[in-house]
Amino acid sequence: MAKSKITDEEALAFHLEPTPGKFEIRATVPMTTQRDLSLAYSPGVAVPCEAIAENPETAYDYTNKGNLVAVISNGTAVLGLGNLGALGSKPVMEGKAVLFKRFADVNSIDIELDTEDPEEFCRAVKLMGPTFGGINLEDIKAPECFIIEQRLKEEMDIPVFHDDQHGTAVICAAGLINALHLSGKKIEDVKIVLNGAGAAGIACIELLKRMGARHENCIVCDTKGVIYQGRTEGMNQWKSAHAVKTELRSLEEAMVGADVFLGVSVKGAVTQDMVAAMADNPVIFAMANPDPEITPEEAHEVRMDAIVATGRSDYPNQVNNVLGFPYLFRGALDIHARAINDEMKIACARALAELAREDVPDEVALAYGKALSFGRDYIIPTPFDPRLIHRIPAAVAKAGMDTGAARRPIIDMDAYELTLKSRMDPTASILRSMNTRARSAQSRMIFAEGDDPRVLRAAVTYQRSGFGKALVVGRSDDVKAKLEAAGLGDAVRELEVVNAANTTHLPAYKDFLYERLQRKGFDQKDVHRLAARDRHVFAALMLAHGHGDALVSGATRKSAHVLERINHVFDADAAHGAAGITAVLHKNRIVLIGDTLVHEWPDEEDLADIATRAAGVARHMGLDPRVAFVSFSTFGYPVSERAEKMHLASDVLDRRGVDFEYEGEMTVDVALNAQAQKSYPFSRLTGPANILIVPARHSASISVKLMQEMAGATVIGPILTGVNKPIQICSTVSTANDILNMAVLAACGIG
């Protein structure tokens, strides 16, 4: 599978567009009328202010404190980049805030403090305490990070958590539980060697000791060798706590007979000879970033029995902090915790370990393009496992309640797990699944409109993201000029530019087209003009002859025109069962709407066809299809012959015996609102519909564009389905990212 290539220009553009930075703040209450403003501010705001002053605990009820975490840094140890300063760390802290939201629906604000003085830092954070439900410290160098975290934990009554320390430790502990389980060893018996006595290393060894590892069995090394009792060089109080009585002086000596190696140090710190000297079934967690102390390939060359984990996503067993910190804070916030204690961290590690031992859901296997099952190459769950959101916070919350850290314990844990499930954004996992499948497919993607800069940017991103080869229909000099104007001059050599003048296949294309069109009023001159001069027809001919695997078009001409041109080459019309299905993504929901492209005024048979096509698209996306035939009436009232076909479409599906849920006719609120559905207990839908089949193309178009413009919904499509080759047609207002999404859909074969 090809690896993704990210250029400096792409990274900067990602942070610049559509607005500078990575997130914004939106109101959760109405802010339109004078009454709204009076309630939000003066005089209405006085009431909750007085309530909180009288009982501070109610701040969790009347403000966003209970779901707000501060990500705080001074930039003294930014990723692997060193001391970039407070301002230089801001993109990382914004990124952390986005991860909190994406994985656990935790609101987060980044705060960069311009000081390297621990006293000043602690004072600033402590003074901000009333604002937040938790503090996530990030990218602060050792040993100051130890001082800062300890002080703040003692002085604040909300969780303070340095993720570089404890996030790594928790995921490391989860992986080690399973690695030892597989190798038949117990934590209290194994000899552990740690290389790297900074923030993460010290936290790892301390947590493992809390879980049962014996002090005398743990050898800690730094750049000067083993930390032994009596050593004075390069020592501090945190290292001294882990000094052992030993004659060992170097990492090489310590590795002899070791059961476990933990590395949070530097690339190449471990040699094959060191690995060869370890005990049977050694466990090697080489977590240095961006490159591990020893690669899995190097370790397995000398020890096939080794279980290896790294910090990298392109190897099995990634020790990834995103498996921990979002869920630790989610559980802590939901019990209004005073702290995140060791018991909560251990509960998180054990819950992660248990999850990895269970069967992996199909959607996870689909997203990663391979089957995953508990074993030497799968000891830690993947970050995109949908069970994380409801399993890990619940375990953390329970441990917090059991240890007295909770201000407000959860009474009904089953109900709590249900609320956690509702926080998960299904659209994110669907999009990730499609991206992974596209990368696995390696489709040669034909981009028909190589004269458009948006299309060219999408083509470059498609290829650099590792999805496959991008074939651009256009003139080489024009493509070169437009890429250079877009700041992508270096991509000129990467793309393959194709046109009628530089292909040897034009005669075959024209013969094929004449065969299809000779009885439809087209002579050979017409056919030559279409094949040689119309980019949409030329691109479709490439696809029909196997000179590409999929096609994206439509960014420069209206979809009806593009579809007409494609129909010269393919049977992509209503008569042959084609349909256009648009995916609308909004507020953690995805709804498919059809037909948005092909059928002008479908009858009940057509509607049943569209529903079946839409159900196929839904399943390709990992959704369980629930179809609603929507109208302005619900189950026969008000009576209208215009609504009758929506009712009859269900009867057609009854006769066909399809294998998905469907119901109708009904209004949109009854289709999508679980509360409204309760008024119709006889309905065959078991939950809100995720497919809406509308009466005509005009109502489909109005619905989609209204959602896009008024609600800010993300729209993918229309997805052309029912054609024997993957073809996707963009809209003329598509951004480069929209065009890329359509290419990904085509590469997945969705349609």
Active site residues: 41, 96
* DSSP 8-state secondary structure symbol assigned to residue 645: H
Residues forming a β-bridge with 261 = 193, 284
Q: Please tell me whether residue 710 adopts helix, strand or coil conformation.
A: helix
> Tokens representing 540?
């479709």
- If phi > 0 it is left, if psi is from -120 to 50 it is alpha, else beta; for residue 430 that is alpha
Contact (CB, 8 A) for 123 and 177 = no
Token pair 């390297």: residue: 116
Q: DSSP letters along 316-349, please? A: SSB--GGGTHHHHHHHHHHTTBS---HHHHHHHH
β-strand pairing of 579-586 with 589-594 = antiparallel
Contact (CB, 8 A) for 274 and 252 = yes
Contact (CB, 8 A) for 112 and 86 = yes
Spatial separation of the C-alpha atoms in residues 220 and 487, rounded to whole Å: 49
Spatial separation of the C-alpha atoms in residues 163 and 165, rounded to whole Å: 5
Please name the residues in contact with 673: beta carbons below 8 A apart, sequence gap of 6 or more. Answer: 688
Residue 35 exposed, middle or buried by CB count within 10 Å (0-12, 13-18, 19+): exposed
Element (H, E) at 413: helix 413-423
Q: DSSP letters along 578-634, please? A: -EEEEEEEETTEEEEEE-SSS-SS--HHHHHHHHHHHHHHHHHTT---EEEEE-SSB
Spatial separation of the C-alpha atoms in residues 662 and 198, rounded to whole Å: 58
Spatial separation of the C-alpha atoms in residues 642 and 79, rounded to whole Å: 61
β-strand pairing of 714-721 with 579-586 = antiparallel
Contact (CB, 8 A) for 661 and 684 = yes
Q: DSSP letters along 277-303, please? A: TSPSS-EEEE--SSS-SS-HHHHHHH-
